[in-house]
Amino acid sequence: MTAIFRPSANLAATLSLAFVAALLVFGVGWWWAWPRVDWSRHVRWYVVQPVPFSHEHHVAGLGIDCRFCHASVEVSWNAGLPPTYTCMTCHSQIWTNAELLAPVRQSLADNKPIVWNRVTDLPDYVYFNHSIHIAKGVGCSSCHGEVDRMPLTYKAKTLTMGFCLDCHRDPGPQLRPKDQIYNTQWQRSTDTPPPATLLAQYHVGGRALTDCSICHR
């Protein structure tokens, strides 16, 4: 009786099995790792904008406060983007002919808004509110990173639900004194009041911050 399989079939079978095993390991690894990789959440991806606005220049260089442009951050869920008029408060006086600023001048002349590309975007079923975080001692840089070191703005944190929950489970260490909220270089140091003091000072703790209904409606 002749053999059904030639000897080389052994090799083929082994290789196939190894390939399937490798695929399985790789697949599971991918499935596990992909959501955990910053790159997949577009962290540190620069976004091209119609005007290459530099936070580094305006914040670190000129010392303009965040609230000058993001004016509604203390009262609304929406931090607000500066209207063209805000840009033109200065740029009608300085850099009036700069090529880079042509779209801004055009926007004012045509009464057509500038269309910026989103850098951070939360899903529509998440209702993040800027005002309450500012009021309770969460600084801008906690989520937006060192914006004053960004020539072009990029997303600094993953902003996944896990990222939010890390803080909502234990907000104390993320809180900072009231006068440091808009300081994007702030770091917790030995002078910083302990988390428990800050929690008491901001009256944080009454609510179950991990309830679904805190962020989802």
Question: Which residues are CB-contacts of 24 (< 8 A; sequence separation ≥ 6)?
Answer: none
- Judged by beta carbon, residue 40 or residue 92, the one nearer other proteins is 40
Residue 36 contacts other proteins per CB under 8 A: no
Whether 74 and 134 have beta carbons less than 8 Å apart is answered as: yes
Amino acid found at 95: W
Q: For other proteins, which stretch binds (CB under 8 A), given 131-139, 142-150, 174-182, 184-192?
A: 131-139
Identify the residue among 10, 14, 16, 40 touching other proteins (CB under 8 A).
Answer: 40
**Pairwise CA distance, residues 74 & 79, whole Å:** 8
Question: 185: closest CA among 132, 151, 119, 140?
Answer: 140
Closer Cβ to other proteins, 172 or 188, answer by number: 172
d(CA 38, CA 151): 20
Q: Is 116 in the site for other proteins (CB under 8 A)?
A: yes
Our finding on whether 24 is near other proteins (CB under 8 A) is no
Q: Does 41 bind other proteins (CB under 8 A)?
A: yes
Stretch that binds other proteins, among 72-80, 144-152, 166-174, 192-200 (CB under 8 A): 72-80
Give 56's DSSP letter.
I
Which residue lies nearer to other proteins by CB, 54 or 131? 131
Q: Which amino acid is at 52?
A: P
Is 46 within 8 Å of 112 (Cβ atoms)? Answer: no
Please identify which residue in the block is written with the tokens 């808009």: 182
Of the candidate residues 113, 151, 162, 194, the single one contacting other proteins (CB under 8 A): 113
Decide: is 76 part of the binding site for other proteins (CB under 8 A): yes
Closer of 107 and 141 to other proteins (Cβ): 107
Q: 83 CB contacts (<8 Å, ≥6 apart)?
A: 113
Cα separation, 129 vs 15, in Å, equals 55
CB 151 within 8 A of CB 163: no
With respect to other proteins, which residue has the nearer C-beta, 13 or 81?
A: 81
Which residue stretch of 14-22, 173-181, 188-196, 200-208 sits at the interface with other proteins (rule: CB under 8 A)? 200-208
Quote the least distance from Cβ 81 to other proteins, whole Å: 4
- Interacting residue ranges for other proteins, rule: CB under 8 A: 40-42, 47, 72, 75-78, 80-85, 107-108, 111-121, 123-125, 127, 129, 131-132, 135-136, 155, 203, 206-208, 211-214, 216-217
